[in-house]
A and B are shown apart, each in its own frame.
Chain A
Amino acid sequence: MKLRIVLLSVVATLTALPAAAADTVKIGFVTTLTTPAGAIGRDMVEAANIALDHIGHKMGGKDVEFIVEDDGFKPEIGKQKTDKLVKQDDVDFITGFIWSHVLLASKKSALDGGKFLISANAGPSPLAGKACHKNFFSSSWQNDQNPMATGEVLNSKGVKKLYIMSPNYAAGKNMVSGVERTFKGEVVGKDMTKWGKDMQLDFSAELAKAKASGADAIFVFYPGPAGPAFIKQYEQAGLRGKIPLYTVFTVDALSLTRLQKAGLGGVLGSWNTMFWAPDLDNATNKRFVADFKAKTGRYPTHYAAQAYDAIMLIKSGVDAVDGNTDDQDGIRTAMSKADFPSVRGKYRYGPNHFPIQNFYLRTVKADANGDWFVSYVSTVLTDHQDTYHDQCHL
């Protein structure tokens, strides 16, 4: 009896491990679906599916197979899933990647495997500079760019003393170096807080320090679940109106939904910068935002916008070679042109395949239905290129 069980398990295991290959365009998507940050991943998958609907699930005449994997917010698992997509599923493109540290851990698996790697969010500096690769593309930005735009805004608003809080990981450090690069005043305090699956969410000590530092503005980068927690505590500490808040990647459609539900009006009227806004006036964006709202009942985040663009970018490459995914040179040349309808309007690529694009000032306000959203105010940086492209050998 036991022998039978053992033999059956062995046979079942060996046959259950798949090794299929079909004539489709395969796209692997590594993102975070579990943990409190999972909301971001779902947003991106939603947007990617809308993009696929818009193109009829076909690229270059072939069907598209879209495989989603969960990195669990851990670099090690992201790498494992990337390996699986490359070796078992034999995908043609790997995209997604919310987190810089997950991307850095996984890039070797994807690029050494000869696949195209397209980041739909993370933009760590090594990939823009020394470690740039011909098969790597970004449909988002380089991490430092957005905070550099914020630094310019701080200068224009006359801020002299700044207190910085950011999570202690690759992107967090990039955000800090970005804002420090353009901000002309004095940084009177800096806190790098614990990040990861069990990130620090109680900022009592750091907020007390910020208050005591005499800063006239506070700059934070708290993506995902840390954003609403920080803003809530910022208000509870009585800092609204005392020390103005400037954020990057902290206030977006996801956190705004939560903040609105909690009635935290302090975020209305706050400033942030980004390469895109949901009310940017172009045909692609209008269609994207409308369809996204129809499907989910809320505004898309920039994560969603980037995921949408990643699919469209891939399509531009595959279309150019009529679906022949073996012609990697052809695909690469086509994608480098960035010649596709993007939700941010027209942009172009630098030699490191990072976008050269505008950055806009946005503010939080209520729309006609009373829903809070981030709205375009003005252009801060035009045709901005990342600082690391000189270090790239391409």
Chain B
Amino acid sequence: MSLPTLTLRGFVTALMLVILALVPRLVDLTGNAFLIDLATRCVILAIAAVSLNLILGYGRMISFGHAAYLGIGAYAVGIPVYYEIYNGYLHILLAMVISAAFALATGLVCLRTRGVNFIMITMAFAQMVFFTFVSMEEYGGDDGLVIEVRSEFSRFINLEDATVLYYVCFASLLVVLYLVKRIINSRFGMVIRGTRGNELRMQSLGFDTFRYKLICYVISGTICGFAGALLGNFTNFISPEMMDWTRSGELIFMVVLGGAGSLFGPVLGVSVFLLLEEFLSGLWLYWQLVFGIFLILVVLFANGGIDSWLSGRSKRSHDS
């Protein structure tokens, strides 16, 4: 055969991308407009998961506060719209700049801690953001903020059209995946992965690991903030609830389910998670029982996630 060897993993990746690209066509075929909602949410959360994977999968930094960036990004759209400022470029800029600033400020404190203290302090900062927005009476507080009008870009990109919004999100996902791939395979990425393996050794090699981790942390937060801006546009609603620690936990689960430390894993993880949630919740009132047990089983027995199941490698073989 003259075709390049197609691994199962490669096949699934390609299949996934093709399906995602053709979602609007599927909607036309089945007449089910809700499919595009599901797909848009999937793609947006995939961007967030890929950003989390950058620090969690490749860098072993377990951030339990990543949902805060989704919130910051969404409010960066919601608050200007509240004041009738609809410029989409401004929204995106605000989302990314504020997320980066927040990541820098909190990273400086968090990255000095280790282990469970790191988990707790990232969670603490996310809770602080949560409570800050709850206290902002003007922007709805606990009730949340309805975003009446979506971000406006040029005449050609009308986000009010569900299909256009979907393709903007999908294109963003492709760009983010490419970016992350470049980062991981660069010298910077090597240092990050090396630090995950043995920080002391990297330091003795002369690398300022703290600086590298901080930069990685900021990049991750910025991408997630961007995802947040897309999320705010999509849901037309943002509430502090969306930054709760359990949402961060769900993001971590999605990354681990897909395969932490693999490029496309998070996308698979998000898809399976959302589809399972959608499917199960329609089936049984107590679906969370199945979901919880599934999570436990995945952690105990399928630790490398879907990615390693597809490629036939166990997590431990490429870790240590």
Contacts and interface: CB of A to CB of B under 8 A. Distances in A.
A168 B240 CA distance: 13
Contact of A101 (B19, B34, B144, B285): B144
B143 interface: yes
Interface stretch (B91-99, B231-239, B256-264): B231-239
Contact of A105 (B26, B33, B144, B281): B144
Contact of A19 (B30, B275, B310): B30
Nearest to B142: A169
A33 interface: yes
A195 B12 contact: no
A75 B11 contact: no
B69 to A, nearest CB: 17
B142 A196 contact: yes
A86 B93 CA distance: 33
B310 A105 contact: no
Contacts of B26: 14
A344 interface: no
B19 A10 contact: yes
B285 A76 contact: no
A83 B141 CA distance: 23
Interface in B113-152: 141-144, 146, 148
B8 A108 contact: no
A34 B239 contact: no
B143 A75 contact: yes
B144 to A, nearest CB: 5
B309 interface: yes
Interface string B11-49: 110010001000000100011111101000000000000
Nearest to B240: A196
A234 B88 CA distance: 51
Contacts of B19: 10
Interface residues of B, number: 31
Contacts of A2: 8, 309-310
A169 B143 CA distance: 6
B144 A87 contact: no
Contacts of A105: 143-144, 146, 237, 239
B275 to A, nearest CB: 6
A195 B33 contact: no
Most buried by B among A21, A195, A196: A196
Interface residues of A, number: 34
A14 B22 CA distance: 13
B309 A83 contact: no
Nearest to B19: A10
Given A83-B34, A88-B33, A75 B279 contact: no
B66 to A, nearest CB: 17
Nearest to A18: B32
Nearest to A5: B309
B257 to A, nearest CB: 14
A213 B245 CA distance: 37
Interface in B235-274: 235-237, 239, 241-242
Contacts of A14: 26
A317 B169 CA distance: 41
A17 interface: yes
A22 interface: no
Nearest to B285: A33
Contacts of B32: 17-19, 87-88
Given A70-B285, A104-B144, 10 more contacts: A6-B12, A18-B32, A21-B31, A75-B143, A75-B237, A75-B239, A104-B146, A109-B236, A169-B141, A169-B142
Pairs A-B, 5 closest by C-beta atoms: A88-B34, A19-B32, A101-B143, A87-B33, A87-B34
6 contacts: A6-B8, A17-B32, A19-B31, A70-B285, A101-B239, A194-B142
Interface of B: 8, 11-12, 15, 19, 26, 30-35, 37, 141-144, 146, 148, 235-237, 239, 241-242, 275, 279, 281, 285, 309-310
